Amino acid sequence: MTHAEKTVAALKEKFGDVIEQVIHFRGETSVGVRPEGVIEVLRFLKESPDLRYTFLANLTAFDDWPEEPRFNVIYQLREMSLPADFRVQVRVHGDAPELPTATGVYLNANWHEREVYDMFGLTFTGHPDLRRILMPSDWQGHPLRKDYPLGYEEVEFTFNFKEIEKKKPYAKE
């Protein structure tokens, strides 16, 4: 039994009601969890003596707008001695974008959660220092959401050169 299969079996036994689905894709295993149970699942995966997923490799999110629930938060965990990877996914609805923080379980989730807050607008309740990290502190909006525009500038060709030149701000002195 691989470590991933052992993990899935242990999770189904202990947290059967919070597990929504199990995905096997390209040799990787990931488990979908409901938002209310995610911190207990992470703590169990880290502290259980057979499973020992002590390293948080990655914490990120992606947006499935306009499908609901739109946010999909990913926790990539690693067991260091084998080593073996495992992924936990949480789907969060767009009307109530919040999750409990994972900094109590994994210390390095701190800046990852700040980045997810900055880019997607998901608040993590209980985070010690939740403020914007990559954008300026007075920026409006959350850039990586799918309904946020890319913000590109139109390319100047000869046919629209004069209109764009009138609007483009140049520094005089």
Partner 1 sequence: MGLEQKLGNMGVVTTTLETAINWGRTNAMWPMLFGLACCAIEMISTVMPQNDLSRFGMELMRASPRQSDLMIVAGRVSRKMAPVLRRLYDQMPDPKWVIAMGDCASCGGIFNNYAIVQGVDEVVPVDVYVAGCPPRPEALLYGILTLHEKVKRETMKDWA
Partner 2 sequence: MTAEAEHQLLEATVDELKHLFSPRAETGETMVLNMGPQHPSTHGVLRMIVELDGEIVVSAVPDVGYLHTGIEKNMEAKTYLKALTMTDRIDYLNTMGNNLVYCLAIEKLMDVKVPPRAQVIRVILAELQRIASHLVWLGTHSADLASQSVLFYCFREREKVMDIAEMISGQRMMTSYIRPGGVWRDVPAGFEEAVRDFLNYLPPRLDEYEALLTHNPIWLDRTKGIGVIDGETALAWGLTGPSLRGSGVNFDLRKAMPYGGYEEYEFEVPLGHNGDVYDRYLVRMQEFRQSLRIVDQALKKLPKGPVITSDRKVAPPPRSELGTSMEAVIHHFKLWTEGFSAPKGEVYVAVESPRGELGVFLAGNGGPKPHRVHFRTPSFVNLQSLPLLSKDHYIADVVGIIGSIDIVLGDVDR
Interface with partner 1 (CB under 8 A): 135-136, 143, 148-153, 155, 168-173
Half-sphere exposure (Cβ direction) of 24: Cα atoms closer than 13 Å: 5
CB 96 within 8 A of CB 86: no
111 binds, among partner 2, partner 1, none (CB under 5 to 8 A by kind): partner 2
- 76, 104, 123, 130: which one contacts partner 2 (CB under 8 A)? 76
Q: How far is the CB of 143 from partner 1 (least distance, A)?
A: 6
Residues within window 124-163 making contact with partner 2, judged by CB under 8 A: 129, 131-138, 143-144, 148, 150
Rank residues 25 and 159 by Cβ distance to partner 2 and give the closer one.
25
Residue of 163, 131, 142, 164 whose CA lies nearest to 63: 142
For 98, residues 6+ apart whose C-beta sits below 8 A from its C-beta are 92, 122, 123, 124, 125
Residue of 3, 72, 82, 84 whose CA lies nearest to 38: 72
Phi, psi of 118, deg, nearest 5: -65, -45
Q: How far is the CB of 162 from partner 2 (least distance, A)?
A: 27
> Which parts of this chain interact with partner 2 (CB under 8 A)?
25-26, 28, 30, 54-58, 60, 62-63, 74, 76, 80, 83, 85, 87, 106-108, 110-112, 115, 129, 131-138, 143-144, 148, 150
